Each structure stands twice: as structure tokens, then as C-alpha cells.
Amino acid sequence: MSALLCLSPGRRIYAARCHDARLGAVLFTIGVLCVTNAHGALAQPRALPVATDSLVRLALTRADAGDTVTALELLEQATDQSPRNLDALYWRGVVLSRTTGLTLGDSPRRILAWHLLSRAANIDGKNPRYLIELGRIRLHSPLLRIEAERYFRRALDVAVDNGDPVQLAEVAYELGQIKERRYNSGRDRWLYTANLVFDPLAARRRLHYTREFLDQLARPIDRAAFVDRSEAEEFYRRALAAQSTHALSAIGLMALLYDQKRYDEMRRVAAPFTRNANATARLLFAHGLAAFKLGQLADADQLFARALLGLTPAMRAEVLAMGRILRKGDSTRVANLSAAELARTDSAFWEAADPMLSTSLNEARLEFLARMAYADLRFTDGDTKQLGWRTDRALIVARYGEPPVVATFAPNSDADAAEAIGRIITVWFYPRTEMEFVFSGPPAMNSAFFAGNYRDFAEERRDASPFLLDNLPLAMAVDTVPIQTVRFRGPTARQTQLLVAASFDTKRLYHNTEIDRGALELAFRIGPPGQLMLRAADTLPVPLPSTITDMRRRWVDTVRAGAYRVRIEARDASVASALGRAQSELDVLPYDTLSLQSSDILIADRALAPTRSVRSWTELGLIPRGDLALAPRDTFTVYWENYGLRPDANKHVKFEVQFVVTLLKLDRGRDVVRNFLGNIADAVGLSAVGDTQLGLRYERDEALDERDRVPSVVNLGMGTAPAGLYRLEIFITDHSNGRRTHTQRDLTIRRQ
């Protein structure tokens, strides 16, 4: 982020469209101070010598246009011409200090700015604007920050004597910043309890190093940095008392309140600012974060939306960029999308992430925006011109939320832990997923970067878990509903009939519910990703207490070729735990009437074999299974349809059916033998053909009877096959032309 130093000829200074609110407000305030007299009261501009006055005005105009090089040249001429001219000295010092960084290469510019402002302070000791700038220059040198506080305290005394609320607010804010920096360096501080220091490199090399170190070799310090936090809060409140519109002090205060979970107070501090239509994005983000933490999601949604609108289009796209929460390959693909494709992908992503579409808001997206608001509130730093959401820490917060455990360790000189020498080490630990991330940064600075090889580790974790919502209560409360989706040819070759069967575990959904009857509201949605449409909704009465673990429902819809998302949701508004959802992605392809094809396999409860030819599964009274999980020794019905079989002269079709059931993954809940499926003999036809497969083969000769398909029904059982995940494959061979087709379905055998 680069901010223009914008000055106007009228001796007011401002930052146009500058997200660095600290810089913008500081420059604006300095502009106000520049038209005060020696006693701090507003006054008319002093009469300058014509040549010097013109040079200063022209310099401010050039700086306002972003041309600080020319501005400095003009101001240098002004100070050479009038060495005691206060405005020339002040503005030259300000422009120099504002256009320098923290590097050693900028030291000469800082030193020159220091001398210019010191000369002005010696000439006019009753105006705190010079002392404020001298303090800010000292802030650019970590070793001189104590001296910066001394200058600000002198400026505070002068501002109090002058009775100028603008000056008082600005100085109190700077003192609050100094105290907050110390608080940030000292908060979450832990002490070593053994003669060992935390080594980020060892943490990556050794399993459980972080957990064991925090449990056994360190302990947290109670009320760490409490005094600094209290003093920072006092200074921010003093600034707001002097000038109620001092937005930067409000943001600083809200950050401290957030750390203490005083979210109601955050809202009270923010309210006077965010009622203004021109409220800054930072204030709106912070206010939205407080509302989100209070569970006031509608308010949070509105505040976040306003904050995003307050950013430039480029910054808005940066905040909302979902590449940071995708796997690396997906992120690269998203980066290459057109604007229209990116908008569709973004919509599809957040639709899929939404825990419950049945609620009025997308809680997952709000959680993400709250994480970005937190990063902005806590990691944005005006000294380094650092935007919070661009930092390494923000990257981890975006993916996994705020860390449940934070431990900071003071700098040390242990040569065996090179990353920790002279730097604060910050450990973030996520106990639920056993993840840790380690950062290091300079003392008294709000900046930190991945320590050691943790950037590489973050990329590894990204591929495994790019985005987790395990800190979102609603997402964690939603039960997974198993479903079976089956595609059949529709009334025409251009249409597909889609059957979706679901199984609801009402025993788990209503666990420990103290009512005698539940009302489970069901919703069936289907559509292209990002454009789901509600196609059916009904209510499932549930007598309680329930012992049913497999309550069935099914939906049928007709669709055309395309990519589709199916979403099933179950919700009882009166029971917090009664939340369930299923989501499936599938492609629907057009049927080729000239080729041999098969439908998906439908797994249903065992049904009687048909005594006549059938045209559809609906004629058989099948009860589809949503969970595709079978009990040991269970038997079940397999139904599928064949399309494009070529009839002979007698309008008969002749084809071969081959079943192959392959063990994909064994459920190792028990000891297992070497030959998983050996010696299986099943009453309904499957038999062992090896250690990991069952097989069945038979011939069919059937009259086509003017049908456009040939349905097939087989009852199967897997006997004593062990618990695990299996794949059922069906191969069809048309004897008239030798063509083959194939369809498959995965299913599970549960452990006893």
C-alpha cells in the first residue's frame, strides 16, 4: 500500500483515498495545527515574505499532487531564503519525515528533518506541533522510542496549557500508541521454566515439540502487560474526550477492548462514527467484528458490506480474495479467471461453505470477513505502512481463525536458537488440529513474519486443510446427512431424471432433547454451483425420544445437461442440535442414443424380484438407501438401467452382466486375516474370486417391448465380508455388437 502525501495550498494537509487511516488523520490534524498561533488558538496565516510564502504554497500544491521531490526542492529554497520561517521549517521537516522509511538508508533524511523541526521548536516553544513531529521521528528508530515518549509528554503539557482539544487529542493518541506497542510486545508472555529456549526450527523437526514445550517447559505470566494496556486505554479515552471525532483513537481503544472481549463497549465506541455515512472502512470493520462476536449477525453483515464499499476496488478485491483459503493449485487457477468467471466461482465457493442455506445469512462468509476485520484491527501498522490483511499472521487467521493458544517469548541470545536471537518469538497453537505456527519479529514493533521454515509448513497445511470453520459453532453443530444420488435417462435423451435419497439419524439429531415431538424442516435444492434453487420443502414429524437412525426421504427432479450441485438440509428451529445437511456435486451429460450406456446404480432395501418387464424403478416400489451403509450379512437390491442395447430381428436384446465387488479400505476395528474375502459363499450369488474381490457373471435375453431402456434388478448379499469400504462395479456387454459399458457405486459394510 502506498499513500500519497497530500498537501493543499491552504495549509491543510490530508490523505486522499488513503486506507492508512493513521497517516491520513495525522496529516489532517497537522494541517489544522499549522494554522494555529503560538498559543494553539486558530489564527489567520502569518504574513510571510512574498517570495518565501509563494515557495511554501507552491510546495504544498506539488505535494498535494503527489510530487514530493519537487515539493522538497521548493521547501529547501524557502528555508535557505528564510532560515527562521516556521512554516517553511515545519513543512520541510514534515515532508521529509513522511517520505522516509525505517531503513538505515533513510537516516540522513530523518536527521535533516530532526534538525529542521528542532530549530522550529526552539523558535516557537509554545506550539506542540513541532514536538509531536519530533516524537514521531524518534518512533522510526526503535532504540530511541523512549525519547519519543518524552517529546510527546512535553507536547501534552503544552497542549494542555494551550487548551486546544485538537492538539490534546493528537498527543494523547500518540502516547496511547506507545503504550499499546509495549502491550502488544508483552501480552501473552510466557516464561521458560527450564534452561531451554523455544526453537522454531526444532518445532518443525520434532513431533509434538510445541505441545510438550508449552506443557512442560514454559508457563504463562498472569496479567502480562496489564499496566501498559490500562495506560493505553486511558490515553485513547483522553483523546476521545478532547476530540470525539478522533477516529484513530477510537480504533486503538476498540482493539484493546476486543482483546478483553468487551464487545458491547466496542459497539458503543464505534456507534458515533459509523452512524456517519463517511465512516472509514477500518471503523466499520471493527464495529462489524464486535457485532459478529455478539451474535448480531445482521448488523455485522451490514457493517462489513459498508466497510467493503469504502475501500478502493483494488483493495476490496484484495480483502475478498479467496485464493488465500484455497489449495495452491486451485488458487492459481482462480487467479487466471476472468472477472465474470471469478464472480461465479466466488458465489459457488461461499454457497458451498455456508453451513445452512436455510438461515438468512451466510455464517461462513461472515466468519471469514470477521477474520479479515480482526487482521485489520490487530495487524495494521502505520509506522511500517503495513496493512493487516497482507501479513503472515493474517494468512493463518484467514484459514483457521484466531489461535486458541498464543505464547510469546522474550528475545534471547542463545546461539542454538538462531531465530530467537534479539527477536520476540510468537507461537500460535491450534489444539484441535495439532497445528502450530511460529512467528518472529522485532521488539516494540507490530510486525512479525513466519519463523524458520514455517512458510513452507503453512503451504503444506494449506494443501491438506485450506480453510477450516471449526471455531464456528453453527458449522460444528451441523450433522452430516448421507445421501445417494442416481442419474437415469429422462423422458427424452436431452433430459436426466435425478433421484436423491437421504437418511436422517433422528436419534442423534434430537439427542437429549426434552420435548415429546420434533418437526424437522427439510429442504431440497438443486442447480448450477452458486445458483441453487429451492425445489421442495416439507416437514418431517419426529416422535421423541427417537431411536431411529435411518429415517428415509427421497426427491426426484428432471434436469438437462450441465454441472449441478445438490443440497439437502434438515433443521428444527426449536432444537439447537437438530441441524443436518448433505451436499453433492455431479455432472449431467447428454445421452447418446447411438451408443451403449448405463445409468448410475441404485442401492435399495431388498425387494421382491419383478415377475414382468418393467420400464422404471418407480414400478418396483423400491426404497432407496441414503446412507449406502450395510449391516453384516445384509442383502440389498441393485437396480440400474441399460440404454442403447441393439435388438435382434425378434426385438430381443442379449447381453452379459458381470458384477465385481472390490475391497477398497478395510475397517481395522478388529484383527483381520490375510485373505480378506476368502471362503465366502453367498446364498444370492456372489463368490470369492481372490483375496480382495467378489464376482458374479450371468447372461440376459429379454424382449425390448418398445422400451427405450432395459432395467435390471438383482438382489445381492456379501455374506461374511469384513467391515470396510467396497466398490460395486457392473460391466455390460452387448452380444449383438460386442460393445461394453460400465457403472459403479461405492458402499460400506459397518462393523458389528
* Residue 153 grid coordinates: 509528554
Mean pLDDT confidence for 17-23: 35
Q: What is the pLDDT of residues 282-314, one digit of tens each?
A: 999 999 999 999 999 999 999 999 999 999 999
Distance (Å, whole) CA 73 – CA 519: 77
- Please indicate whether residue 89 or residue 444 has the higher confidence score (pLDDT): 89
How high is the pLDDT of residue 137? 82
How high is the pLDDT of residue 654? 96
pLDDT classification of 13: cutoffs 50, 70, 90: very low
Domain 478-590, CATH 2.60.120.10 — does that match?
no
The lowest-confidence range among 147-151, 403-407, 574-578, 680-684 is 680-684
pLDDT classification of 570: cutoffs 50, 70, 90: very high
- Please indicate whether residue 666 or residue 536 has the higher confidence score (pLDDT): 536
How high is the pLDDT of residue 44? 41
pLDDT classification of 246: cutoffs 50, 70, 90: very high
* Residue 580 grid coordinates: 443436518
Residue 520, pLDDT > 60, answer yes
pLDDT classification of 15: cutoffs 50, 70, 90: very low
pLDDT classification of 383: cutoffs 50, 70, 90: confident
DSSP reduced 3-state for 30: helix
Distance (Å, whole) CA 94 – CA 737: 88
Q: What is the pLDDT of residues 643-660, one digit of tens each?
A: 999 999 999 999 999 999
Amino acid at 658: Q
Long-range pairs of 684-688 with CB within 8 A, sequence gap ≥ 24: 684/635, 684/715, 684/716, 684/717, 685/714, 685/716, 686/659, 686/661, 686/716, 686/717, 686/718, 686/719
How high is the pLDDT of residue 493? 84
Helices and strands (DSSP H and E) totals, the chain = 23, 26
Domain ranges of the chain: 6-163, 478-590, 592-752
Distance (Å, whole) CA 479 – CA 93: 63
Domains 478-590 and 592-752 share a fold: yes
**Would you report the helix, strand and coil content of the chain in percent, each value rounded to 5?**
40, 25, 35
Residue 267, pLDDT > 50, answer yes
How high is the pLDDT of residue 734? 96
Q: Give the residue from 625, 241, 656, 209 showing the smallest Cα distance to 452.
A: 209
Mean pLDDT confidence for 151-166: 90
How high is the pLDDT of residue 343? 94
Mean pLDDT confidence for 317-343: 94
How high is the pLDDT of residue 416? 53
Residue 205, pLDDT > 90, answer no
* Residue 455 grid coordinates: 512458510
Q: Give the residue from 56, 58, 67 showing the smallest Cα distance to 4.
A: 67
Whole-prediction pTM value? 0.84
Q: Give the residue from 499, 543, 501 showing the smallest Cα distance to 520.
A: 543
Distance (Å, whole) CA 361 – CA 458: 30
How high is the pLDDT of residue 6? 38
How high is the pLDDT of residue 673? 39
Percent of the chain with pLDDT over 90: 62
Placement of cell 493458544 in the chain: 405
Best mean pLDDT range from 127-136, 387-396, 657-666 = 387-396
Residue 82, pLDDT > 80, answer yes
How high is the pLDDT of residue 546? 93
Q: What is the pLDDT of residues 354-382, one digit of tens each?
A: 999 999 999 999 999 999 999 999 999 88
The lowest-confidence range among 408-417, 467-476, 629-638 is 408-417
Q: What is the DSSP code (8-state) at residue 620?
A: G
Distance (Å, whole) CA 247 – CA 49: 37
In 10 A of CB 16, how many CB atoms?
A: 10
Best mean pLDDT range from 70-79, 94-103, 665-674 = 70-79
- Please indicate whether residue 665 or residue 4 has the higher confidence score (pLDDT): 665
DSSP per-residue codes, 154-217: HHHHHHHHHT-HHHHHHHHHHHHHHHHHHHHHHTTBEEESSS----HHHHHHSTTHHHHHHHHT
* Residue 466 grid coordinates: 485450506
Residue 713, pLDDT > 70, answer yes
How high is the pLDDT of residue 742? 96
Distance (Å, whole) CA 421 – CA 636: 66
Which run of H or of E encompasses 79? helix 68-81
pLDDT classification of 563: cutoffs 50, 70, 90: very high
Q: Give, in words, the CATH class of 6-163.
A: mainly alpha
Domain 592-752, CATH 3.40.50.300 — does that match?
no
Percent of the chain with pLDDT over 70: 87
Residue 10 contacts by C-beta under 8 Å, 6 or more apart in sequence?
A: none
DSSP reduced 3-state for 718: coil
* Residue 262 grid coordinates: 468487551
Distance (Å, whole) CA 30 – CA 240: 17
Mean pLDDT confidence for 245-250: 96
- Please indicate whether residue 564 or residue 115 has the higher confidence score (pLDDT): 564
Residue 36, pLDDT > 70, answer no
Q: What is the DSSP code (8-state) at residue 222?
A: T
Angle at 415 between CA 412 and CA 419, to 5 degrees: 65
